Copies of this chain bind each other. A is one copy, B any other.
């Protein structure tokens, strides 16, 4: 493979968005637009779907100032998808189509910005292009609030979501303890298989105002132990705040969230009631006789609250996108950009770029080390806080208009 390769680049975003995934996209787009080897920069509409459907936006037509606003614009500005490519040996229809589009636009650089499933897509495309001998440098750019990508110290998107979770839990603590009456609160946080984001609530606890009990999917959730934990805390203070990961499950692997829907709750319209894990556990506690239990679900807020983003995260997300382009132009392909943690001479946190094989990253999952979780399985130990705290630092300077966020407004001029 020659070092110098001229051609167009595609950037696509996929999977659940984050507060800073656009900062990574901006890192890719800005760096690619400025690189003489890259002739055109296309944004794929809704990730790989945009490639398959031939809906590509010409990023060179965008106003530079608007592009820069991507640094503080949450969610995937190019659109996202949850589309799983088949094994190319079983069905190569999609791959042929992707190759056709790559040839049509002379695409020699492909950057895919996402989590586990997206790295699987990226890996499959990379291997297919190698197999058919189409020269194209393919790089994965990580993002996920779940922080569960293998091999990287952490993932862009996690720091901001963790900052949101910790900050909001501190505020909830103030509010949920305000009355002179008993009160319980169950806070549901995203994370199906890994508890990284729920664990971030322990940063609030370490500040003296956070959840009393934290349950992660890394441990089996036992309903009786849960009730006993709550009883102990509530007996002592008349209050109890619980943080739970949406993925907590019993010893048989059954999600606790599914306990609630088993009996097909039906409302006055005859419609099935939606009820999340927090509502389910609140129901459990109400049945135990507690006077007031408030279920709170962070829902989309935890992954789109750019107003509470971590500046460290914004900068690292941008750096990841930038590095992906620089590496690709220098001749590297088939890798995901990751982060390595280090220390400067004063012992302060530093973060540098490292590269991982896409094959290794695709579909692997990183969970919280067991030794960071307390023996009871209802809290985190200081080692976790030491890990997470550097990632949530810094309040971004956000551009505003009318006192509200000014998000990027892209023209999205479709390439022909």
Contact = CB atoms under 8 A, between A and B. Distances in A.
A274 B286 contact: yes
A271 B296 contact: no
B294 A269 contact: no
A269 B287 contact: yes
B274 A263 contact: no
B404 A168 contact: no
B274 A283 contact: yes
A260 B393 CA distance: 42
A208 B179 CA distance: 39
Interface string A263-279: 10111111111110001
Interface in A244-301: 259-263, 265-275, 279-280, 282-284, 286-287, 293-297, 299-301
A97 interface: no
Q: Chain A contact residues (Cβ within 8 angstroms of B): what range?
A: 35 or more
Contact of A301 (B209, B296, B400): B296
A325 interface: no
A271 B260 CA distance: 9
A296 B174 CA distance: 22
Nearest to A264: B265
A259 B265 contact: no
Contacts of A59: none
A280 B267 contact: yes
A314 B214 CA distance: 33
Interface string A139-176: 00000000000000000000000010011101110111
A79 interface: yes
Given A75-B174, A294-B299, A393-B403, A287 B304 contact: no
A76 interface: yes
Interface string A43-82: 0011001000000000000000000000001111101111
Contact of A275 (B166, B273, B407): B273
Interface stretch (A103-111, A305-313, A357-365, A374-382): A305-313
A392 B404 contact: yes
A274 B296 contact: no
Given A271-B287, A274-B282, A307-B307, 17 more contacts: A73-B174, A79-B179, A163-B403, A166-B404, A168-B307, A170-B404, A171-B301, A207-B404, A208-B409, A259-B269, A265-B267, A267-B275, A273-B279, A275-B275, A308-B308, A310-B403, A395-B400
